């Protein structure tokens, strides 16, 4: 049994798959496409939504340090990803890397974890997209009913000069400080988050049509959002009030994870899912024109550019406005408001950039998930339907449609807080396993050709894994419980279907 669980896919077989002209996926992506795909996934909810919320709830102005910690962890993991992606240039990301190093069972674990990571990431970001879109349309006199713009079952209240907001503990505290009795406010119960569901449906359709068309759309969205972010940073430095940075590390409230150094670490864990983008680059390896050369450029290039932008935005945003006022769905827009009436022209531009930026994140998340399904199906661990490629568009259309439909339902009924924490813990687990895999493969197969080599092995992979595990440990207990339940469901599927249908295990049985 142990032999069946830990059977590994040979490197020769993986390389044969990577050069197979009949695999069905079209190689059209350049180094620039891959870099912008990474930026498209990384620059999004982290800047436009989570920066403010994590500062307000966990770290204060020291959210800058949270981004530095997460950026360092990502740099270590990114170097490991770059080695694998150049050496094993096929779809599947960390799932494929684990299959080659630690065996089928652990490959299934990481593959199932990646489903959690990508599927819930697309849903999470679409909820943020919906918030900005509702606000943007409102500026033009178009109102989306409150009961169609929030998670199912959420209680929405209409607050004077603030509009409709879902009831949260932080909102109740804010209303209490303003001597407003929430019971006296108009309220409705939300049915679904319709804007979030609509954007997923549109982008799923685009992904079915083709990877090149999707990449071109993503390139445009990246240009828009990066340009506006740079504009915000450049203008924002003139409006910084240094008093907003004091205290830089707010005193801990007495509860672990709420300010102080523990808050910085929890903030790093919560915002970590914003860095998922370079992992998404590796899922497109089988559609890259020259994966050995271009994959490391795409992974490390997108990570470097995005980390610098994250840190600069965090510095400017917490300098313009007190971190206590940033626990909102559109913190960057709040920062623009704090600049004064003279800068009001920047507010709609920020919203357009947020809408564009979050669109590209959703696109890349919805692109990554079907390609993991594709690889797992090719290995027999999932039904063959998940590896069906459209005859005309050359895309994994069935798994793309299934992914899109499921993400729509999740986005329509679950709140962003639960979704974001689930994605973070899934991402951290994936990165830690990739770091460990590098050490294993270096020892087991030192002779393999590595177009890109992770420096300072085993130090870099060990540090990457340790920082990821530390950030996982900082996340709330209920997030761990949800991860355990998700993994238990995955084990049931593997032992009732995957291990019996596995192509490698069938070959093992035939060769006995």
Q: Give the model's confidence band at 346: pLDDT under 50 very low, under 70 low, under 90 confident, else very high.
A: confident
Question: Is 181 a member of any domain?
Answer: no
Please state, in angstroms and rounded to a whole number, the distance separating the CA atoms of residues 470 and 137.
41
Q: Report if residue 15 sits inside a domain.
A: no
- Look at residue 175 and tell me if it is in a domain: no
The three-class DSSP label of residue 149 is strand
The model's confidence at residue 456, banded by pLDDT at 50, 70 and 90, is very high
pLDDT, tens digit (0-9, with 9 covering 90-100), for 472-494:
887 888 888 888 998 999 999 99
- 270 pLDDT above the threshold of 70: yes
CATH value at residue 78: 1.20.1740.10
Q: Given a cut of 60, is residue 20 above it in pLDDT?
A: no
CA angle 274, 471, 461 (to 5 degrees): 90
Give residue 256's domain range.
Answer: 23-154+190-502
Model confidence over 372-403: pLDDT tens digits? 888 889 889 999 988 888 777 777 888 889 99
Q: Which two tokens stand for residue 177?
A: 């400080």
pLDDT over 60 (residue 309): yes
Distance from C-alpha of 53 to C-alpha of 58, rounded to nearest angstrom:
8
Position 207 confidence tier, pLDDT thresholds 50, 70, 90: confident
Residue 404 CB neighbours (<10 A): 23
Please check whether residue 482 is in contact with residue 95, taking contact to mean a CB–CB distance below 8 angstroms: no
pTM of the predicted structure, to 2 decimals: 0.78
Q: Which of 145-159, 302-316, 395-409, 490-504 has the lowest mean pLDDT?
A: 145-159
pLDDT of residue 2: 66
DSSP 60: G
Residue 147 lies in a domain: yes
- d(C-alpha 359, C-alpha 353), whole Å: 10
How far are the Cα atoms of 161, 331, 346, 352 from residue 337, in angstroms, in the given order? 14, 10, 9, 16
Mean of the pLDDT values across residues 210-222? 73
pLDDT at residue 94 greater than cutoff 60: yes
Asked if residues 427 and 279 have their Cβ atoms less than 8 Å apart, the reply is: yes
Confidence of residue 8 (pLDDT cuts 50, 70, 90): confident
Residue 341 banded pLDDT, cuts 50, 70, 90: confident
- Does the structure show a pLDDT above 90 at 98? no
Place of tokens 């919320």: 53
Contact 214, 207 (CB under 8 A): yes
Length of the chain in residues, anyone?
A: 512
- Could you give the CA distance from residue 34 to residue 107 in angstroms, rounded to a whole number? 24
In a domain, 10, yes or no: no
d(CA 107, CA 113): 10
What mean pLDDT is predicted for residues 429-447?
87
Residues 6+ apart with CB under 8 A from 68: 311
Q: Could you give the CA distance from residue 328 to residue 325 in angstroms, rounded to a whole number?
A: 8
Beta bridge partners of 288: 29
User: Does 24 have pLDDT greater than 60?
Assistant: no
90 within some domain: yes
Confidence check: pLDDT of 425 > 70: yes
Residue 195 Cα distances to 127, 144, 146, 263, angstroms: 8, 9, 11, 32
String of b and e for 344-363 (b: at least 16 CB within 10 Å)?
eebbeebbebbbbbbbbbbb
Residues 88 and 168: their CA atoms lie apart, in Å, by 46
DSSP 3-state assignment of 321? coil
Split at pLDDT 50, 70, 90, the class of 162 is low
Q: Is the pLDDT of residue 33 over 60?
A: yes
Q: Which string of b and e fits 382-402 if b means at least 16 CB within 10 Å?
A: beeebbbbeeebbbbbbbbeb
Predicted local distance difference test score (pLDDT) of residue 466:
92
Neighbours of 509 (CB within 10 A): 10
Instruction: Kindly tell me if the per-residue pLDDT of 92 is higher than 60.
Output: no
Between residues 29 and 245, the one the model is more confident about: 245
What pLDDT, on a 0 to 100 scale, did the predictor assign at position 336? 86
Tell me the average pLDDT of the chain.
82
**What gap in Å lies between CA 416 and CA 273, rounded to an integer?**
12
Which of 14-28, 321-335, 422-436 has the least mean pLDDT? 14-28
User: Has residue 283 been placed in a domain?
Assistant: yes
Here the tokens at position 475 are 């996340």
Distance of alpha carbon 448 from alpha carbon 101, whole angstroms: 13
pLDDT band (50, 70, 90) for residue 169: low
**101-135 pLDDT per residue, tens:** 788 998 898 888 888 878 888 888 888 888 888 88
Q: Is residue 17 part of a domain?
A: no
pLDDT band at 511, cuts 50/70/90?
low
Question: How many alpha carbons lie under 13 Å from residue 127 in its C-beta half-sphere?
Answer: 26
> In which element (H, E) is residue 339 found?
none
Total domains, the chain: 1
Residue 3 CA to chain centroid, in angstroms?
34
Question: What's CA 249's distance to the chain center, in Å?
Answer: 27
Predicted confidence at residue 463, as pLDDT, reads 93
Name 348's Cβ contacts closer than 8 Å, sequence gap at least 6. 136, 139
Contact between residue 17 and residue 23 where contact means Cβ atoms under 8 Å apart? yes
| pLDDT value of position 231 | 92
DSSP string, 186-219: -EEE---BHHHHHHHHHHHHHHHH-HHHHHHHHH
Q: Quick one: DSSP state of residue 288?
A: B
């Amino acid at each position: 049994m142990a032999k069946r669980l830990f059977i590994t896919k040979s490197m020769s077989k993986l390389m044969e798959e990577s050069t197979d002209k009949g695999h069905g996926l079209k190689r059209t992506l350049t180094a620039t496409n891959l870099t912008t795909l990474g930026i498209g996934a990384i620059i999004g909810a982290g800047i436009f939504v989570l920066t403010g919320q994590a500062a307000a709830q966990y770290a204060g102005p020291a959210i800058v340090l949270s981004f530095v910690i997460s950026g360092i962890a990502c740099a270590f993991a990114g170097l490991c990803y770059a080695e694998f992606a150049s050496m094993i240039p096929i779809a599947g990301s960390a799932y494929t890397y684990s299959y080659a190093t630690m065996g089928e069972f652990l490959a299934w674990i990481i593959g199932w974890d990646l489903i959690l990571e990508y599927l819930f990431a697309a849903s999470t970001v679409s909820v943020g997209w919906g918030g900005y879109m509702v606000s943007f349309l409102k500026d033009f006199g178009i109102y989306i009913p409150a009961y169609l713009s929030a998670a199912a079952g959420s209680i929405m209240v209409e607050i004077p000069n603030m509009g409709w907001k879902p009831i949260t503990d932080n909102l109740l505290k804010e209303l209490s400080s303003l001597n407003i009795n929430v019971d006296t406010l108009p309220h409705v119960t939300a049915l679904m988050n319709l804007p979030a569901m609509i954007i997923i449906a549109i982008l799923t359709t685009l992904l079915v049509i083709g990877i090149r068309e999707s990449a071109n759309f993503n390139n445009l969205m990246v240009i828009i959002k990066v340009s506006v972010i740079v504009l915000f940073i450049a203008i924002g430095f003139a409006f910084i009030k240094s008093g907003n940075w004091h205290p830089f590390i707010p005193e801990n409230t007495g509860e672990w994870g709420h300010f102080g150094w523990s808050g910085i670490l929890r903030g790093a864990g919560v915002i970590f899912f914003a860095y998922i983008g370079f992992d998404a680059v590796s899922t497109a390896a089988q559609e890259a024109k020259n994966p050995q050369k271009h994959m490391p450029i795409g992974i490390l290039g997108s990570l470097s550019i995005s980390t610098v932008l994250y840190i600069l935005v965090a510095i400017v945003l917490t300098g313009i406005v007190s971190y206590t006022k940033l626990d909102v769905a559109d913190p960057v827009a709040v920062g623009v408001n704090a600049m004064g009436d003279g800068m009001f022209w920047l507010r709609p531009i920020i919203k357009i950039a947020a809408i564009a930026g979050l669109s590209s994140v959703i696109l890349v998340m919805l692109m990554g998930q079907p390609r993991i399904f594709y690889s797992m199906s090719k290995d027999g661990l999932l039904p063959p339907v998940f590896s069906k490629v459209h005859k005309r568009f050359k895309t994994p259309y069935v798994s793309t449609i299934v992914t899109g439909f499921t993400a729509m339902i999740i986005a329509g009924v679950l709140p962003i807080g639960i979704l974001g924490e689930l994605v973070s813990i899934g991402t951290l687990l994936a990165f830690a396993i990739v770091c460990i895999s590098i050490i294993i493969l270096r020892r087991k197969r030192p002779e393999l050709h590595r177009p890109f080599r992770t420096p300072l092995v085993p130090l870099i992979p060990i540090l990457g894994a340790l920082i990821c595990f530390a950030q996982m440990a900082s996340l709330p207990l209920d997030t761990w419980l949800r991860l355990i339940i998700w993994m238990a469901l995955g084990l049931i599927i593997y032992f009732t279907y995957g291990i019996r249908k596995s192509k490698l295990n069938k070959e093992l049985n035939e060769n006995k």
